[in-house]
Structure 1
């Protein structure tokens, strides 16, 4: 899907590989697993009115951030908070499952755990610009979970690179672990 590919293009994968000291192919595969995981977690949270309101507040905070030029500009402490809000106490299980979905032996739960707080602020910033329409695209609307859920669901529906996001695999995993969201 174009949205997934556009989001993936925002991620400085070579910088992530360099910062984490991993093979660029492993970093790319880890990012491709993390993206639908984060978006799925955000979508699960948006299904609950309180979760949708919390997510809209987070999007408002991330909507004015400039496009990143390198990983060094990423606030990984903020990323860790985002991951904590999205997955709650299930972060380890989600990271393990995302790693298990990779065919690359270098993509481990530990690598996924390191990639999540790097990628999370980028994902939130990108979604914020799409949701608010500040990127010049049509706004997804500010009508609560409907517009936001549609935007997030649209990203998952197209998935990328065989992520399993649209075939029930990742969706079933996240739905089972998150139970409709963890705020």
Structure 2
């Protein structure tokens, strides 16, 4: 379960739907675009050394955690994560991601729902990435392999968004918006 679909399956969608007062299909649609948006934003920020170091520091605070319910999620921390990942572009990212949401509903502003979902899922995403990163760091290097990649965090995040779902969202809707946060 080290891919984007595995990460999305960990999100307590029913709890999110109940909290936001929306149909489960709307919450699923919002989560389906919010998670790759956060991973893509992290990947964009990890492209430079300062951004990667900042993310690694944040991952250290989330290592070993695995929020499984909304009671386990620190939304204030989620707001900080979203602010660091997207900077002033949070609203733009939510609107752009919503355009790729797999479900539409009459009278529901999916962009507003995505904006509410981002800080809920951000701590879950960071915990997942932290645990994946830690397990990759703990694995002994294969003797036949050349030296370790220069940016293992960027490689991990890039691998997560390499899925067709992640690529469609990142390349299409979010293209120039990602990486707008602080490094």
TM-score range, shorter chain: 0.7 to 0.9
Counterpart check, 1:54 vs 2:59: no
| Distance in 1 of aligned mates of 2:153 and 2:16 | 28
Query: TM-score scaled by structure 2?
Result: 0.84
Question: How many residues were matched structurally?
Answer: 174
Runs of 4+, deviation exceeding 6 Å = none
Query: TM-score scaled by structure 1?
Result: 0.84
Change in 2 beyond 3 A, CA 1:113/1:180: closer
Q: Which has the larger displacement, 68-77 or 17-26?
A: 68-77
| Distance in 1 of aligned mates of 2:79 and 2:175 | 21
Change in 2 beyond 3 A, CA 1:20/1:181: closer
Alignment correspondent of 1:99:
98
Where does the alignment leave 5 or more consecutive residues of structure 2 unmatched?
142-147
Larger radius of gyration: 2
Change in 2 beyond 3 A, CA 1:139/1:133: farther
Deviations 1:72-93, CA, capped at 9 Å, x for gaps = 2210000000000000000010
Alignment correspondent of 1:150:
155
Where does the alignment leave 5 or more consecutive residues of structure 1 unmatched?
none
